Amino acid sequence: MANRLHIDSNATKLASTDFGKLVQANPIAVLYPSSINDIVSLVKSSYNSPNPFTVAARGRGHSLRGQAMAKNGVVVEMSSLKLSSNESGIRVSQNPSLGFYADVGGEQLWIDVLRATLEHGLAPVSWTDYLYLTVGGTLSNAGVSGQSFLYGPQISNVYEMDVITGKGDLVRCSKHMNSDLFYAVLGGLGQFGIITRARIALEVAPNRVKWVRMLYHDFTAFTRDQEHLISINGLDYVEGSLIMHQSPPNNWRASFFSPSDQLKINSLLTKHGIIYCLEVVKYYDDLTIDTVDEEIRQLVKGLRFIPGMMFKKDDSLVGFLNRVRSGELKLREKGMWEVAHPWLNLFVGKSGIMEFNAAVFADILHKQNHTIGPILLYPLTRHKWDDRMSAVIPEEDTFYSIGLLLSSVDNGNWEVLEDQNKQILDFCDKAGIKAKQYLPHYRTKEDWMNHFGSKWDTFQQRKAQFDPKFILSPGQRIFNSV
């Protein structure tokens, strides 16, 4: 393992920052593992040391506030496993009890999982909007997107995992085997183990998608229609977003609207200030190609969007699922991907969503008029989540995923955007809105206790069981001061 451990400044500098560009924390070393045993040896050596050092697994470094960092510890570059292995880290299988599934290395990117499974005519059912993230990274949080109302988050579609605990033990776990570790790790923010393999549920993949967007100026009609659509059968994806002058119709997430469509939308913006966009997708294949348009007509019948403001697009499954990538590449060409990203992701209970709209969307964001970026808003259902998992959601049957994907255009205004985030969080606290941070970030133990609520005692007990020396994921600041 020693020759895989790098202490040079080039290695430590790369591991000292992340996608958020808000936090910097220098490790003393970076491990580039050639095998899972390298990671086992590293963690075990820390656990057995009289002076344990911290360890953080880093996938794409897509964290926002240093969650994948290890100040004065060791960062494990999980991508090194892909480069060092001669075997594919993705293997598709089938058995009578589970059906189709893929065994996937924790270091694998979801885009590679998609491509590998499509070779068998199969695909996972639950996604994130951005596919260039690692399997271990999203499963440590939850993994949500427009399919989550139907299939649950990605953590609800895992059969089994191999995990390296904070004691340096490599443990296989599932609902029926070492189940405490299984449920702890899913949504566990990396606190209990490093995921080295996950068994992911697969289904037969469609060929193409019908992609529809409908525009609203009435928030009540918009949310009622969203909630209606997730309550019926027929759609495969439901999301929503806001369109404002500082958050235009086409953005880096997806270039959907034609120039003439954008002119119409800009006219609506001038009149209403904020437009709400309901986005739905229906999958289809050769067997349903002749009926899919009629099916969509029936599904959207009675919806209360602005007359004439429904827009359609046809795309391949890969084109749709990987829609964010082209926008990312364009931003990289302009040097705009490497700016600060003070994103704020929340789960807000249905009971508070009207008040949230009035205070946050229509007041704070609209009036302050900062350059921001995409704003996502779509409903999820509690019964698709397993409460035994570490992930935390509001205690309501329906809640909304809200993504304020703020970007600092020139890195000069990130503090202004952070202040705006604080204003939003303070409002939620004072108004008693049932909200939970997704990709959470807190500075005090009390805040973490409030975040986990009734799960806190279990979370602490699991930490004592699987990482008693507080070695793993110090950048989350739950048990370690960084």
Question: Active-site residues: which are they?
Answer: 62, 129, 239
Helices marked H in 232-302 — which ranges?
A: 259-272, 292-299
Tokens of 159: 């059969």
User: Burial letters for 257-277: b for 16+ Cβ neighbours within 10 Å, e otherwise?
Assistant: beeebbebbeebbeeeebbbb
> Could you tell me which of 357, 338, 466, 463 has the C-alpha nearest to residue 408?
338
**Number of Cβ atoms within 10 Å of the Cβ of 11:** 18
Pair 235, 242: CB distance under 8 Å: no
Distances (CA, A) of 374 to 51, 117, 357, 395, 467: 45, 30, 16, 27, 37
Specify the DSSP class assigned to residue 361: I
Helix (H, G, I), strand (E, B), or coil: what is residue 301?
coil
CA distance linking residue 158 with residue 101, whole number of Å? 9
- The answer to whether 382 touches 398, Cβ cutoff 8 Å, is yes
In angstroms, rounded to a whole number, what is the distance separating the alpha carbons of residues 141 and 139?
5
**What is the C-alpha separation between 398 and 383, in angstroms, rounded?**
9
Number of other CB atoms surrounding residue 460 within 10 Å? 15
